[in-house]
């Protein structure tokens, strides 16, 4: 096996590994968002919309380990330990940023796979064609089937890379939407825990919705 053939095979192994990693990330993130959104919805329902807008949360619910529950637990602790409204707001923002980071975790890996897979496929195609021409130069066209097989394998690399990218892109956009929705839920939860009134909550949540709308428009 020559060096070109070796690198050609390595590009296939890299694409297969990228496909497996993408599938794992899709399943893992989907489960994360399903359980996170479910607990966030339960917390929002348990808090309700009382006139004083004070949270009323089932203690058993706070024992769960999903991101929304952890953020609410931290926010309740901060609310009990801090009396200054400005400091409480700063702590709420810090808690939200930490939760948002966890929500968006590892999506960049899927985005990288979407970008890199077609490039790996193109590299595999180029190396395959180079290897085919090398065979032609050494043995001529005495075996047309071998030449056709080499070109077919080279083109298969491009097709595989594009297929992985399309598959990953479809689920990346879907997971990005789920992440935005969960981040909105986290923001609403923290606003409710802070005890703001309904009008202030709507005003504070507006920039989040506007930012999300801008991101969708940019796509």
Give the span between the Cα atoms of 18 and 165, in whole angstroms.
Answer: 10
pLDDT at 205 over 50: no
Q: Where are the alpha helices (DSSP H) in 48-143?
A: 67-81, 85-103, 107-139
The pLDDT of 21-40, averaged and rounded, is: 95
On the question of pLDDT at 215 being above 50, the answer is: no
Task: Provide CB contacts within 8 A for 183, sequence distance 6+.
Answer: 99, 100, 103, 104, 208
More confidently predicted of 60 and 56: 60
- Give the total number of structural domains in the chain: 1
| pLDDT level of residue 7 (50, 70, 90 thresholds) | confident
Domain that holds residue 20: 3-218
CB within 8 Å of 127: residues ≥ 6 apart:
4, 5, 7, 8, 11, 154
Distance CA 48, CA 25 (A): 34
Structural contact between residues 39 and 69, judged by C-beta atoms closer than 8 angstroms: yes
| Mean pLDDT calculated for residue range 67-96 | 84
Q: Residue 89: pLDDT band by 50, 70, 90 thresholds?
A: confident
């Amino acid at each position: 096996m020559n060096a070109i053939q070796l690198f050609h095979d390595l590009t296939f192994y890299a694409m297969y590994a990228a496909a497996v990693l993408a599938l794992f990330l899709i399943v893992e993130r989907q489960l994360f968002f399903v359980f996170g959104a479910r607990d966030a919805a339960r917390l929002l329902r348990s808090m309700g919309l009382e006139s004083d807008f004070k949270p009323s949360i089932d203690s058993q619910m706070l024992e769960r380990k999903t991101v929304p529950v952890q953020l609410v637990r931290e926010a309740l602790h901060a609310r009990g330990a801090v009396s200054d409204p400005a400091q409480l707001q700063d702590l709420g923002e810090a808690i939200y940023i930490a939760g948002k980071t966890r929500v968006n975790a590892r999506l960049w890996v899927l985005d990288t796979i979407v970008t890199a897979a077609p490039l790996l496929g193109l590299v595999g195609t180029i190396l395959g064609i180079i290897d085919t021409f090398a065979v032609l130069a050494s043995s001529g066209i005495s075996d047309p089937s071998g030449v056709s097989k080499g070109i077919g394998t080279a083109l298969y690399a491009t097709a595989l890379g594009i297929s992985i990218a399309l598959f990953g892109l479809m689920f990346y956009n879907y997971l990005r939407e789920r992440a935005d929705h969960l981040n909105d839920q986290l923001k609403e939860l923290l606003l409710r825990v802070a005890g703001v009134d309904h009008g202030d909550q709507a005003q504070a949540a507006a920039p989040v919705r506007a930012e999300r709308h801008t991101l969708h428009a940019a796509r």
